[in-house]
Structure 1
């Protein structure tokens, strides 16, 4: 047991936003809520925050509004073997240690990023022209632009590899040989890479129709190849599977503020005024999980965007879910995004 738990403590009145900083920066994926006497009041996990986002709870609300008040705990005098058995039984990675009601430590079920592997295929979209990033993309596909010391697409691939995924498909169209010559068959990264070539641009979902028929009957992760993110792909996959979803879309919370006072009225009579209101929405984050059977809905060489496929599923009464992400996420679509990525990469564990 180390003292790492002391860095993940929160007071009950601290904002959820502060909890996010702990969850995103730390490796334990948990925050502990205590009072001044170090009494354990509750715990917060990644799942608690995602559920709060779905309930439209603001990030400035106190953590006491969403924390789990009856967490699984262990007595500090229990042996590590007993605590590990408890964690395995409850499928937990960490358990707070108590002396009575007082928090005195945290036991962890250590695991490495590569401890478990997933046969699920990962489909990375890398065929776009990147016109908004010209002249940088005149001779280089956008996913192959370097952020830090490596191409964006390599950072994406390494993220999946560290999470245990090794079976990759990459869609190509613009300057395809630049990608193929760099990655080859993936053996340099100890992964398998196969390529799908779009002779004409097919949209963000159309390339799904070019995937081979012998793919495993497992959920498929689809992701734009120009994203930088710290999303936990294992948690995403478990969410999709546990909820028996047919299609899951990662979403980001987007808030915008009208810089003027909004006036409501009927005819010429004012019924109310709101000064500079803010509106919150979920937006598509470009990361998806879909069931293998949905590939049959995309015909070969059929133009389609991923939202179109989701719309079809909704019309067919399939179970379609959204997975809110609070982790770092950046869509490198414009030159200012690219410049921001160069700064962010210095402080990110990617």
Structure 2
């Protein structure tokens, strides 16, 4: 619903008369009651108002007396499938999504979730790496063709994009390129169009993007590593990028790690505390990006380029680089432990 839902934000003191006008004007059949910080305190539907009037309440009654003070809500971490299951299970047509502070982030509609969109945006999949950390599995097979759940990793990635409404793919290949080309062909088996970008020599994690053809539509490009399993909502990611009006959007994942030693805290040379094996966390790049079309030319001019360098260049030029946190399932198949873990988790998430 993009920002359309903001039209139905009201306060507890709003009258039923005004609430009816808000609901009618937005045509969403619901209004969201929020406080000064836009934290959700309740919802009211046209049915709630109708029942209030039948009970004899006047149109000047404050909506706070009528609203549902314990509505069903979703979090930003809930996937599209989880949203649909929640709405179907509780017979809801709209569902507010709130952040960790209880503020309204958006309003989902069951009709919109069911609707199958179609996007003109190209998807660029990076599948040219050697997969050295996964040897001997990759001695004779490129990593994107390693099977998890009975099919290649890259096939699962493409199928997820297809389900989200993307039809145009470019795959960057280098190591054992012919095996990838032979398996996926022109994409006809999946009802999509696939072209290949041949890296004669490795060009860095972003360089091959500069080899994309000049005739691409002037829309953002989604870029993703070809060894990631995820349930991210690509349509939501693209909508977020467009709303931010950013030159690029970087997907990030919360990463936690434990220091295996006691950490000493100092004030100059004086010990002020020792913390035993503390747990640290940071935001790590998830290997998924949305790039403005103009960056294709920027990359082409530099030949060999890594993605962090590209994004740092844009930041230094004053361009906006947005951050999109991933709360859905995500796993980078970079090591043998990840590969084995994915085998056990595949049926649960895919």
Partner of 2:127: 126
Displacement, 1:319?
A: 0.7
- Change in Cα spacing, 1:260 to 1:132, as seen in structure 2 (3 Å) is closer
Question: In structure 2, what is the equivalent of residue 26 of structure 1?
Answer: 82
Return the TM-score normalized by structure 1: 0.72
Q: Which residue of 2 aligns with 1:109?
A: 111
Distance 2:156 2:195 in 1: 18
3-state SS in 2 of match to 1:168: strand
Which digits, 9 at most, give the CA deviation of each residue in 1:306-339, with x for residues without a partner? 1111011011111101101011000001111111
Q: Evaluate the alpha carbon distance shift between residue 294 and residue 20 of structure 1 in structure 2; reply closer, same or farther with a 3 A threshold.
A: closer
Unpaired runs of at least 5, structure 1: 1-11, 32-42, 53-65, 72-90, 95-107
Assess if the C-alpha contact under 8 Å between 1:133 and 1:334 holds in 2: yes
Deviations 1:189-213 (A, max 9, x none): 0001111000001111010111111
Q: State how far apart, in whole Å, the 1-side matches of 2:343 and 2:83 are.
A: 23
| Match of residue 13 from structure 2 | none
* Structure 1 CA distance for aligned equivalents of residues 189 and 253 of structure 2: 33
Alignment of 1:141-160 (within 5 A): 141-160=142-161
In the alignment, what sits opposite 2:186?
185
The reply to whether residue 214 of structure 1 matches residue 215 of structure 2 is: yes
Equivalent residue for 1:78?
none
**Alpha-carbon distance change, 215 to 342 in structure 1, aligned in 2, over 3 angstroms:** same
In structure 2, relative to structure 1, the CA distance for the partners of 1:150 and 1:244 (3 Å cut) is same
Unmatched runs of 5 consecutive residues or more in structure 2: 1-69, 88-94
Cα displacement (A) at 1:258: 2.6
Distance in 2 (CA, whole Å) between partners of 1:123 and 1:22 is 26
Q: Match for residue 108 of structure 2?
A: 93
Query: How many Å separate the matches in 2 of 1:26 and 1:299?
Result: 40
Question: Could you give the per-residue CA deviations for residues 243-286 of structure 1, whole angstroms, max 9, x where no partner exists?
Answer: 10110000000122334442222354222343443222100000
- Relative distance call for 1:283 and 1:21 in structure 2 (3 A) is closer
The change in CA–CA distance for 1:22 and 1:236 in structure 2 (over 3 A counts) is closer
Give 1:1-350 correspondences, 5 Å limit: 23=79, 26-28=82-84, 45=97, 48-49=98-99, 52=100, 66-68=101-103, 92-94=107-109, 108-109=110-111, 111-112=113-114, 115-299=116-300, 302-349=303-350
CA contact (8 A) 1:207 1:301 kept: no
| Partners of 1:241 and 1:300 in 2: CA distance | 25
Would the aligned equivalents of 1:202 and 1:301 in 2 still touch at CA under 8 Å? no
Structure label with greater radius of gyration: 2
CA–CA separation in structure 2 for the residues paired with 1:110 and 1:22: 16
- Structure 1 residue runs of 4+, over 4 Å off? 18-25
CA distance, structure 1, for counterparts of residue 113 and residue 79 of structure 2:
17
Q: CA deviation at 1:24?
A: 7.4
RMSD between aligned residues: 3.0
Deviation at 1:29, TM superposition (A): 8.0
d(CA) in 2 for partners of 1:299 and 1:335?
Answer: 34
Q: Distance in 1 between matches of 2:234 and 2:225?
A: 14
Specify whether residues 22 and 127 from structure 1 end up closer, same or farther in structure 2 by C-alpha distance, changes over 3 A only: closer
Aligned mates of 1:110, 1:299 — CA distance in 2:
38
C-alpha separation between the residues in 1 aligned to 2:237 and 2:342?
A: 23
Corresponding position of 1:35:
none
Counting matched residue pairs gives: 277
Q: Once the two structures are superposed, what CA deviation does each residue of 1:156-199 show, in whole Å capped at 9, x if it has no partner?
A: 00000000000100000011111111111111100011110000
